[in-house]
Structure 1
Amino acid sequence: MEQVQALPTILLVKDDQLIQSIVEEALTEGGFEVSIFASGEEAVAALSRETFRAVVSDIHLSGKIEGWEVARVAREIDPALPIIYMTGKAAEEWPSKGVPNSVLLTKPFAPAQLVTAVSQLLNANTPTGNAP
Structure 2
Amino acid sequence: MACGARETGVRNEPIVILVVEDDQSIQSVIEEALSDGGFETAIAATGEEAVTLLQGRQDEYRALVTDINLTGRFNGWEVAKRAREMHPQMPVIYITGAAADQWASNGVPDSVLLNKPFAPAQIATAVAQLLNEAPPAASQ
TM-score relative to the length of structure 1: 0.92
Amino acid of the residue matched to residue 103 of structure 2? Answer: W
1:112 aligns with 2:121: yes
Equivalent in 65, 76, 79 of residue 70 of structure 1: 79
2:107 is matched with: 98
Q: One-letter code of the match for 2:27?
A: Q
* Aligned mates of 1:99, 1:36 — CA distance in 2: 21
Q: Which ranges in structure 2 are unaligned for 5 or more consecutive residues?
A: 1-9
Alignment gaps of 5+ in structure 1: 128-132
Amino acid at match of 1:66: N
Alignment of 1:1-132 (within 5 A): 4-50=11-57, 51-127=60-136
CA offset digits 1:35-79 (Å, max 9, x no partner): 000000000000001121000000000101000000000000010
**CA offset at residue 13 of structure 1?**
0.2
Partners of 2:79 and 2:134 lie apart in 1 by 20
Q: Distance in 2 between matches of 1:29 and 1:76?
A: 29
Q: Distance in 2 between matches of 1:28 and 1:57?
A: 16
The residue type equivalent to 2:70 in the other structure is L
Whole-Å Cα distance in 1 between the matches of residues 88 and 11 of structure 2? 28
- TM-score norm. by structure 2 comes to 0.87
Measure the CA separation in 2 of the matches of 1:104 and 1:5: 29
AA of the residue aligned to 2:39: F
- RMSD of the alignment, in Å? 1.0
CA contact (8 A) 2:22 2:71 kept: yes
Q: Aligned letter for 2:33? A: A
Contact residue 89 and residue 135 of structure 2 kept, 8 A: no
